[in-house]
A and B are shown apart, each in its own frame.
Chain A
Amino acid sequence: MKVLEVDTTADETGLVSKAQAGDREAFGELVRCYRVRVINVVYHMCGDANLAEDAAQEAFIRAWQHLLDFQPHSSFRNWLYRIAVNTALDISRRERPDVDVESLELASPGENIEADLEQRERSRQIRQAVLGLPQASRGVLILREYEGLSYREIAETLDISIGTVMSRLNYARTRLAEILRPLMEGR
């Protein structure tokens, strides 16, 4: 799955510097660049689109508050992902997300009801399986599967070792393979 790709490398350093100096417009530009990615990280962590938008906004506000702590030599994207993951975990603890089945995308809505229902049920099972993982493993899996981060980037983002990334990812995928085996066999 490809999330919306945004060219964030060219002016990112300049935007971050300006935002650190208090430039709201520059920070707004960073929010615009990373909005979809941050929402999707939070969404995959908590499973509720509405909650994900609120949590993403909260993550950006936290980022603004702590922007002076950001070290320019590190990756802004990974720093932001870290805040997003932590915010998602906080939100998940605070509020129990509703099952947001309606927000799931369907392959061909309206044309084949049976296929739609089957797709919907499949998506629900996959989402339930991912959301059922322990938080630590879920965070690693989401950053790898849905955001395409390398092991090193995940380690930097979550402040864990690469060995821990490997073991958590291995656990998450093995667990998901067990849970989703009936679906995989039916493909």
Chain B
Amino acid sequence: MNGHLEAWIDAYLDGELSITLKRQADAHLARCQSCRDLVAERKNLTALLQGFPPASGLKPGARFVAEVELQLKPRREAARLRSQVMYLSWQFFPVVLLLALAFVQTVSTLSSIVGVIPGANQILANRATLLPGSPILSIEVSDLFNILGVFNPLGWNLFTGIAAVLVISLAYVSWLAGWWVLNRRLAASLG
């Protein structure tokens, strides 16, 4: 805290300053007449503002509550459950991503172990051609997947691992963006 108290005066009077800052403020006030005048003015203002009294002549509480209850639209149970399921799914999405990342890391590690065993790659390559799924793809796509080792998890190479981590990262960033947008929309909807 340097100089006069103008910027801190409200926090000082509202009891929002830390003990250290309050001591500094007290020390400054002891030697600064203009800041003491400012404190007096603020206190005077706070007292004066009480001249804007709370609302009076209100309708009885029971009537107010009854009028509100009459205007409440029924909430559907299905909508409530759907909302809860959506909320939980949304909350657990990062956990799913974390599990996916753990899976990718495990497979990559196993692949590197298999890579150093002599002849293991050839055996896995032969088995990969027997795996279902590849015949329904075009040759080019099938070849690409074979190169990446998609149909043969234990034969994943470096590129497959990097691609998987990139996809997971992208999904996480999208989740963060969605979370931010959702919060902004929620804040706006409350208005």
Q: Please give, as numbers and ranges, the residues of chain B lying within 8 Å of A17 by CB-CB distance.
A: none
Contact with A along B42-60 (1 / 0, CB 8 A): 1011111111111111110
Count how many pairs of residues, one from A and one from B, have CB atoms less than 8 Å apart in the complex: 136
Residues of A within 8 A of B143 (CB): none
Q: CB within 8 A of A31: which of B11, B56, B68?
A: B68
Residues 26-65 of chain A, each 1 if its beta carbon lies under 8 Å from chain B, else 0: 0110011001100110011000010011001100111011
Mostly, the B contact residues are helix
Contact of A126 among B49, B54, B56 (CB under 8 A): B49
Chain A 128-165: CB-based contact to B (< 8 A → 1; otherwise 0): 00100000000000001110001100000001000000
Residues of A within 8 A of B187 (CB): 159
A115 at the interface (CB under 8 A from B): no
Partner among B50, B58, B68, B191 whose Cβ is within 8 Å of the Cβ of A49: B58
A interface, CB within 8 angstroms of B: 1, 3, 20-22, 24, 27-28, 31-32, 35-36, 39-40, 43-44, 49, 52-53, 56-57, 60-62, 64-66, 68-69, 82-83, 86-87, 89-90, 103-105, 119, 122-123, 126-127, 130, 144-146, 150-151, 159, 166, 169-170, 173, 176-177, 180, 183-184, 187
B residues in contact (CB < 8 Å) with A: 6-7, 9-11, 14, 16, 41-42, 44-59, 61, 64-65, 67-69, 71-75, 77, 80, 83-84, 186-187, 189-191
